[in-house]
A and B are shown apart, each in its own frame.
Chain A
Amino acid sequence: MVADYLERLRREGRIVIVGASLAGLRAAETLRAEGFAGSLTLIGDEPYEPYDRPPLSKAVLLGRASARHTELPHRREIDAKWRLGVAATGLDLTAKRVRLADGDEVEYDRLLIATGVRARPWPKEEEARLDGVCVLRTRDDAARLYQRLRSGPRRVVVIGAGFAGSEVASACREKGIPVTVAERAGAPLVGALGGAIGAVAADLQLENGVDLRTRVTVTALEGDAIGRVRAVHLSDESVVEADVVVVSLGSQRNTEWLTGSGLGAGPRGVACDAGCRAFDFRGIVTDDVFVAGDVARSPHALFGYQFLSLEHWGNAVAQAETAAHNMICHGADRRPHLWMPAFWSSQFGVNIKSVGVPPMGEQLMITQGSLAERRFVGVYGHQGRTVAAVTFDNARWLEFYQRQIEQGAPFPVEFPTVDRRPEGRQPVPADFPDPSLPTHGPTVTLSGYSPADRQLVFTPARH
C-alpha cells in the first residue's frame, strides 16, 4: 500500500514548494533529478526567480556585480509551474491546500516549506519610514542601498555589527564613505564568534577607519522637515549625523502564514525532525509537510540533538537536497540532515570561515597563526569536545577541523600544531554573551532538546 502510494506520488503526484529562493530551487532540482515526474509548483512572494543573496552585501555594494543579476544558475531543467509575486497566506493541513494572497488555492500531496527569513525592521515604525533608513535582505534592498552609497552620503550609520552589518561597513570604507557602526555588545560578531574573536573584528574595523561604537544602543532616528533621516541618537547621549542608516538587527522567520495551521511554527521557525519532516504543534511529526533552509529548526545528532536554526547558505542547499530526497522515497531510504554547519564572510579584505557551532563553545584555543596577525585558526571547545573552528585567512585548515568535530575530538586539542604561538597553548574563554540577554547577532541559535531526552529545558552553561 505504502509502496503504491509512493509510486503514484513519484509518477503523478503534486508537490508544492512555498518559498522560491535558494532552498526552494535546489529542492525542485533534486526532486526532478531523483525521478519525480508529477506536477511541481513553486510559490514565491518576490516577483523574481531565485537569486543568490550573499553577493548582495559584498560584490553588489562594491559595484562589482549588479543587484539585478545574481539569479542562481539552475543545475537542471525543473519543469515547474512558477507562481511568482504572490504570497502564500494560509495552510490547511487536512484538505492539503495552500491559500494564496490572490485568493487562489493550490492542492498538494506533499509540501515543502522554504519561506526563509526577512530583515528585522527598525522597531519604531515612524522612524523606519524615514527616507534613507534601509535594511538588506532582498535584491531590491541591495539595489536601493547601492544607489544611496553611490550618491555620496556624508556618513552611513550601521545599526548592528553582525556579519551583514560588518560587511556593509566594509563596503562603505572601501568606497571611501565615512561609516559609524553602533553595536550593543562589546565588539562586532560577538553573537556568532564570541568576544575573543570579536576583539579581532573590532581591531579590523578600527584600522579600516570605521567609527565603531560598542556597548551602545540606538535610541532614536531623527528626521528633517521633509522626512529624510538626518541623525542617529545613541544611548550614551551622543548624536551622529548621517543620511543613510542601515538597520542590521538580524532576521525574523517567515512563519506568519502558518499561524493557525496546526504546525509547530512560530518566531523561532518551523521545527522538524532530522529527516526534515515538520512537527505539528503537539510535537508529532507530519507525513506530508517538509521544511528546509533558513526557516527550519532541526535536531543535529553531532550537537546533542539540539535544534539548530542555521541561517547559512550551505545549510539551505544541503537541507533542501535532503528534504527533497526524503519527500519521494521510502522510510528506510530516508536520510538525516547531518550537514556540518559552515559559513563564510568576507570583510575588510579578510576571509572569515567557520565550521561547527561556535556559540556552543565555552573555550577557545588558537591552534595556528596569531590573533594579532589576523591570520589564524581558532578552535572552540564544549565539555571536553571540539565543537567548532573559525579561520581568518586560513581556510585551508578548516576541513581538518571539520573532521575533528565529526569525530568528537577532545578539547583542548592535543595534537602539536605546525606554527603554534604562545597564545595558542592555553584555552581562553570564548566569551559569548549570556544567552538570556536579548541579542540580534547569532547566526546559530540553540534551543530545545531531543525528544528522546528527558530534560525539558536546556540552558547551556555560561559564566
Chain B
Amino acid sequence: MRLVVDLNKCQGYAQCAFLAPDVFALHGEEALLYDPRAAEEQRERLARAVAACPVQAITADGLDGAGGATAEAGQGESGGR
C-alpha cells in the first residue's frame, strides 16, 4: 500500500505512530518520519491511522485490497473540487 502524509497539515500529534508504529515514527519532538510503502500486514493498522489522524493528513491507496481505491478522510489544502 502506498501512502503520503501532507506534512503541511500534520501537527505531530502522533496518533498514527501509536496506531501503526512500523509505518510512522516521530523523529525528535514533532517531525514525522514514515515509510511511503507500507507492508501488506500493516493494512489494518494503517487504515486505523488514516481514520484517526485529527487533521486528515494521511492519504493511502490500496487499503481495501482493490489496489486502486483511495482512503482519504479529507481533501487537499485548497479544499473543494
Contacts and interface: CB of A to CB of B under 8 A. Distances in A.
By DSSP majority rule, is chain B's interface helix, strand, loop, or mixed? loop
A167 B30 CA distance: 16
Contacts of B61: 73-75
Contacts of B37: 65-66, 69-71
Contact of A71 (B2, B6, B10): B2
A77 B78 CA distance: 21
Given A317-B77, A321-B78, A351-B28, A65 B35 contact: yes
A342 B8 contact: yes
A76 B70 contact: yes
Contacts, number: 106
Given A76-B70, A393-B29, A395-B30, A70 B36 contact: yes
A93 interface: no
Given A54-B7, A71-B2, A346 B60 contact: no
Given A34-B81, A339-B77, A349 B31 contact: yes
Interface residues of A, number: 43
A281 interface: no
Instruction: Categorize the interface residue count of chain B.
Output: 20 to 34
Contacts of A313: 7-8
A348 B3 CA distance: 24
A64 B33 contact: yes
Nearest to B34: A59
Interface of B: 1-4, 6-8, 10-12, 25, 27-37, 59-62, 68, 70, 72, 76-78, 81
Interface of A: 26, 30, 33-34, 52, 54-55, 58-59, 62, 64-66, 69-77, 313-314, 317-318, 321-322, 325, 339, 342-344, 346, 348-351, 353, 375, 393, 395-396
20 contacts: A34-B81, A52-B36, A64-B25, A70-B37, A71-B2, A71-B37, A73-B61, A75-B61, A75-B72, A314-B8, A314-B77, A318-B77, A325-B81, A339-B78, A342-B77, A346-B31, A349-B28, A351-B12, A351-B28, A395-B30
